[in-house]
Amino acid sequence: MSIEAVRAYLAEYGLDSRIIEFSVSSATVALAAEALGCDGAHIAKSLTFQGEPNTILLVAAGDARIDNAKFKAQFGRKAKMLTPDEVIAATGHAVGGVCPFALPQTGVEVWMDISLQRFETVYPACGSANSAIPLDCETLFRAAHALGWVDVCRDWAESL
């Protein structure tokens, strides 16, 4: 019922009516882009990494890849992704529906990668493997309670 938690969370921002639920899976960047009829770069994927003491949830453009050197320089640790079980335990969302909304009050730091800033609208998941929401970057940042913008990805600049 993670999507219901996200729906209630986004209602506090007046955004719940924007949630789109698909009859097909949107669990990967490619599937979400196909369901939405957009380029995969516009998908705001949520990646979860081990952190000390908190889990790091990074929201990045669908065509961006983690740059290990940049990640280590920014966060002081290697980019080690959580296992699917660890993702559920840390975020309350299963892989395929992970998003920066309705997270536990403590233990997760949300950061936004600058790869998203080139788009007027991006589409993060909403807690299920068949949902998304169209948001501008400022609204996404605010609703996610992000701590800041970081530059820890690669391969996206070539697509500008």
The reported pLDDT for the residue numbered 77 is 94
Cis peptide before 84 (omega within 30 of 0): no
The answer to pTM > 0.75 is yes
Split at pLDDT 50, 70, 90, the class of 52 is confident
Domain boundaries, the chain: 2-159
Do the beta carbons of residue 29 and residue 40 sit within 8 Å?
yes
Over residues 12-24, the mean pLDDT reads 97
Residue 17 has pLDDT above 80, yes or no: yes
Residue 157 has pLDDT above 80, yes or no: no
Over residues 20-40, the mean pLDDT reads 97
User: 34-38, 45-49, 102-106, 147-151: which has the minimum mean pLDDT?
Assistant: 102-106
Over residues 96-120, the mean pLDDT reads 95
Could you tell me the maximum CA-CA distance found in the chain, to the nearest angstrom? Answer: 41
Q: Which fold has domain 2-159?
A: YbaK protein (3.90.960)
- Look at the alpha carbons of 109, 88, 20, 6 in this order and tell me if their dihedral is positive or negative: negative
Residue indicated by tokens 């701590």: 147
Dihedral, CA atoms, 131, 126, 81, 62, nearest 10 degrees?
60
Dihedral, CA atoms, 44, 94, 78, 113, nearest 10 degrees?
10
Over residues 42-57, the mean pLDDT reads 95
Residue 1 has pLDDT above 70, yes or no: no
Residue 160 has pLDDT above 60, yes or no: no
